[in-house]
């Protein structure tokens, strides 16, 4: 194939070569049919193959978010997820999947943490490697992302992250290194952010020195969507493909200029083209150039896998007096209150990970599926959890008398519209495309309220937006949205305001928005488009006391289950978390506190991709962390609640009691000077449990690796022996000491016997999930590489292991250590990069 690609490259004109180095459109590469070069298609995302449309579109299977699958600590499941995602990708006519996402959980408020696996680089890397292997053994290219250090969403397009090389190598690059060396991903996607002053897409240290140099990787590098920031620099650093198309930085004349002035060589252009053509070859594009239409295939095997992964990923965090499980025969004829978000299926986070799922099983549905009519369920919402008011869509008529809104398009600043369409259904408009680019958009309608009062409105726009009621300005946004992509993918925070309405009176409402990026016409990927939304809620609904109703429901029931969590707009790409507390303004916390005080058998099921504050923890009997478990959410939750599944999930993150105790607190999301946001990773390698090990455990709500079961386990008889010059063999016995079959995760950590302020007390080096019948005992063996507990010495530029005594810690969490074995290393040594 190399000779064929050489022949193709030699046959291409410079114009054709340059055209190949950027996308044709949002999802496809550029074909050159006359030279035998086909197009191939990519699809988001990490927990399903969404297809082309960001909203709606072809239905697809929604798999558990990466943080949920990481909670299984089960690489075998990750491999099966990769296999299934490959099949899903093919149903969308694509050959490249944009995932897995594998940046570290640096801070609990990271908006995109749910898409990534863990705070620990070894756990993240081992699981992601299996996803990649599962994808690629079925002919679909994995695209590991975002390379590198994309740990926050705040000003993600420009933030400069100052990180030591040691922290980069040990924490932020380590998961990528594991995947590159164990699974050889066919593509890598660069991050939006800068690393040590240089954007990731043109960062020679990341792409040339580490990825292609130290690691010897030879796949294709693509940019994140709109994440190419230069012409010459990105080409020279090793960015093969600018996405999406049409190109912004690789127009023919711009590339020719860089060649003519000696900034870029034609050989570099050939190398970049070779990267794209090699990927086309790997995914079978030359053999079968067809891009079939998208299909919705609801595969029963994928349903089963999603439910199995979710069941193993749910983590039982508290179970006082064994209130769980609620076995069917034990609760028959009883009343169970399902409160809070019980009727919402929190199956995924917001942004690229969202998709139009085949179906969505809510906890309400799942509990009914599990218990049928044997239990009487009662519902009360109990809390306002919205982040945006719903778009105004009722009691509105446009100028033609049709229900809805009149949509008009204007040349910028003009008063006469050039396009008009009647009956637009609600006070929201999403970006559409070239036909309205750089034009103003207006929605107008006559609204007749059915209640008198100071009702609530809220508005936001991609670009400057103004709202008038009866020709009076009631809202004005004078600047572009801080992240227009975030607006497109799910919205941005909105400030509510009140306006006094009288029942039965007509009000003329108009919303007008300018194109985003109009002032400089440098608005990035979405420059020239418009988007806005205006929400509305009657005061009677907005100010209703929902807690009292839920409290009365809880009091009359034998059990109360409160479902809490983040809807996709609360936890999403494009913005970091608004708070460490549950939304909205403490409403869910107040609900749990009140119900827990009223009903001694209160259970909380929380669906977030991150740790949250739990001020009510002492007042509830049980807590289940459900994450975002995919389309089978409600069934998986009911499986664990009912005891059909014995919980075996373990936390892939540490869970602090207070946000102030997080290692990056004070250095997240950074400080701004002269318009540049900079965040310093001053915690260095002390991320997650590496930090919490060094402080009082009173500050930790739940430690890394923690999780309860309906049975119990004990470890004993640990041993460690040298297997080779750079590896050790460790063994441990595990016994199921309870009365039920179940699974635990054996975790092996290594640390220095003599603790050092420069190094973590211990680091995870191996793990295994073990399934045992009641009373069964098993011996488990691990192979541990010295590099897994070596440190990166910046002075020598090498992985280093100092001489001295080391301890191998065996446990079921980072604080639940049951056996320790000492090992002496006679001489210091440097290991391979």
Set 224, 240, 398, 593: catalytic member: 224
Retrieve residue 589's tokens: 């916390």
3-state secondary structure of 312: helix
* Crossing angle of helices 633-642 and 363-371, rounded to 10°: 50
Identify the CA nearest to 347 among candidates 372, 365, 368.
Answer: 365
Contact between 54 and 489 under an 8 Å Cβ cutoff? The reply is yes
Contact between 398 and 444 under an 8 Å Cβ cutoff? The reply is yes
Longest CA span, the chain: 87
Catalytic residue status for 224? yes
Identify the CA nearest to 286 among candidates 18, 3, 4, 23.
Answer: 4
Contact between 483 and 153 under an 8 Å Cβ cutoff? The reply is yes
CA 638/CA 737 separation, integer angstroms: 25
CA 243/CA 356 separation, integer angstroms: 23
Contact between 97 and 85 under an 8 Å Cβ cutoff? The reply is yes
How many angstroms separate the first and last alpha carbons of the chain?
A: 30
Strand pairing class (742-752; 804-811): antiparallel
Residue listed under structure tokens 């070069």: 37
Contact between 338 and 563 under an 8 Å Cβ cutoff? The reply is yes
3-state secondary structure of 161: strand
DSSP state of 210: I
CA 664/CA 651 separation, integer angstroms: 19
**Phi/psi of residue 253, each to 5°?**
-65, -40
Burial of residue 437, with CB atoms counted within 10 A of its CB: 0-12 exposed, 13-18 middle, 19 or more buried: middle
Lay out the sheet containing 671-673: strands in order across: 198-199, 194-195, 160-162, 676-680, 671-673
Which residues does the annotation mark as catalytic?
A: 224
């Amino acid at each position: 194939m190399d000779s064929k690609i050489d022949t193709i490259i030699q046959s291409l004109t410079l114009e054709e070569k340059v055209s190949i180095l950027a996308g044709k459109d949002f999802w496809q590469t550029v074909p050159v049919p006359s030279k035998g070069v086909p197009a191939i298609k990519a699809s988001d995302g990490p927990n399903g193959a969404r297809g082309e449309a960001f909203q709606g579109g072809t239905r697809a299977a929604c798999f558990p978010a990466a943080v949920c699958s990481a909670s299984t600590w089960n690489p075998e499941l990750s491999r099966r997820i990769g296999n299934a995602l490959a099949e899903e990708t093919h149903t969308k006519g694509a050959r490249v999947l944009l995932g897995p996402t594998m940046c570290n959980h640096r801070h609990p408020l990271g908006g995109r943490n749910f898409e990534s696996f863990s705070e620990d680089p070894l756990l993240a890397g081992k699981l992601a490697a299996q996803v990649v292997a599962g994808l690629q053994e079925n002919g679909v290219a994995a695209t590991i992302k975002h390379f590198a250090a994309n740990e926050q969403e705040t000003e993600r397009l420009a933030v400069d992250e100052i990180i030591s090389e040691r922290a980069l190598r040990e924490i932020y690059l380590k998961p990528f290194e594991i995947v590159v060396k164990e699974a050889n991903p066919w593509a890598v996607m660069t991050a939006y952010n800068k690393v040590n002053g240089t954007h990731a897409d043109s960062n020679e240290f990341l792409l040339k020195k580490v990825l292609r140099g130290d690691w010897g990787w030879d796949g294709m590098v693509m940019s994140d969507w709109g994440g190419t920031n230069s012409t010459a620099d990105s080409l020279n650093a090793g960015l093969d493909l600018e996405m999406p198309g049409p190109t912004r930085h690789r127009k023919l004349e711009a590339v020719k200029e860089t060649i003519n002035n000696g900034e870029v060589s034609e050989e570099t252009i050939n190398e970049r083209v070779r990267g794209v053509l090699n990927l086309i070859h790997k995914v079978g594009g030359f053999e079968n150039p067809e891009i079939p239409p998208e299909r919705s295939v609801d595969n029963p095997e994928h349903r089963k896998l999603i439910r199995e992964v979710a069941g193993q990923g749910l983590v039982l965090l508290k179970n006082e007096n064994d209130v769980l499980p609620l076995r069917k025969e034990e609760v028959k004829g009883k009343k169970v209150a399902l409160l809070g978000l019980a009727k919402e299926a929190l199956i995924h986070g917001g942004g690229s990970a969202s998709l139009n799922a085949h179906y969505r099983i809510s906890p309400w549905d799942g509990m009914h599926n599990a218990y049928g009519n044997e239990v009487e369920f009662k519902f009360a919402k109990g809390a306002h959890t919205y982040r945006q008011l719903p778009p105004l869509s009722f009691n509105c008529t446009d100028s033609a008398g049709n229900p809805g809104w009149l949509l008009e398009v204007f040349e910028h600043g003009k008063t006469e519209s050039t396009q008009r369409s009647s009956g637009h259904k609600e006070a929201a408009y999403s970006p559409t495309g070239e036909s309205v680019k750089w034009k103003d958009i207006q929605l107008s309608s006559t609204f007749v309220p059915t209640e008198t009062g100071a009702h609530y409105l809220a508005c936001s726009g991609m670009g400057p937006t103004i709202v008038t009621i009866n020709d009076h300005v009631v809202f004005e946004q004078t600047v572009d949205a801080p992240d227009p992509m975030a607006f497109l993918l799910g919205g941005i925070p909105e400030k509510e305001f009140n306006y006094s309405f009288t029942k039965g009176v007509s009000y003329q409402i108009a919303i007008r928005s300018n194109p985003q990026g109009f002032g400089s016409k440098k608005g990035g990927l979405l420059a020239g488009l418009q988007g806005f939304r205006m929400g509305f809620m009657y005061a009677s609904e907005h100010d209703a006391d929902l807690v009292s109703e839920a409290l009365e429901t809880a009091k009359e029931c034998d059990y109360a289950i409160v479902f809490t969590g983040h809807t996709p707009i609360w936890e999403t790409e494009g913005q970091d978390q608004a708070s460490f507390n549950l939304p909205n303004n403490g409403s869910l916390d107040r609900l749990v506190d009140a119900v827990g005080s009223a009903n001694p058998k209160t259970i909380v099921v929380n669906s977030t991709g991150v740790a949250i504050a739990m001020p009510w923890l002492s007042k509830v009997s049980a807590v289940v962390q459900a994450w975002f478990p995919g389309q089978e959410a409600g069934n998986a939750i009911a499986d664990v609640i009912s005891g059909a599944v014995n919980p075996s999930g373990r936390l892939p993150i540490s869970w602090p009691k207070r946000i102030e105790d997080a290692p990056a607190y004070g250095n997240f999301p950074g400080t701004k000077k002269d318009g540049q946001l900079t965040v310093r990773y001053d915690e260095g390698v002390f991320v997650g449990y590496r930090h919490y090990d060094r402080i009082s455990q009173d500050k930790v709500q739940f430690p890394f690796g923690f999780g309860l079961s309906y049975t119990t386990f004990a470890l004993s008889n640990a041993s460690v022996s040298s297997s080779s010059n750079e590896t050790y063999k460790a063994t441990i016995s595990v016994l199921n000491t309870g009365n039920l079959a179940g699974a635990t995760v054996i975790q092996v950590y290594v640390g220095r016997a003599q603790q050092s302020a420069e190094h973590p007390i211990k680091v995870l080096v191996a793990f295994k999930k073990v399934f045992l019948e009641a009373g069964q005992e098993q011996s488990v063996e691990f192979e541990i590489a010295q590099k897994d507990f070596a440190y990166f010495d910046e002075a020598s530029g090498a992985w280093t292991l100092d001489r001295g005594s080391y301890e191998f810690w065996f446990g079921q969490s980072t604080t639940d250590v049951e056996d320790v074995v000492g090992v002496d290393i006679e001489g210091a040594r440097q290991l391979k990069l």
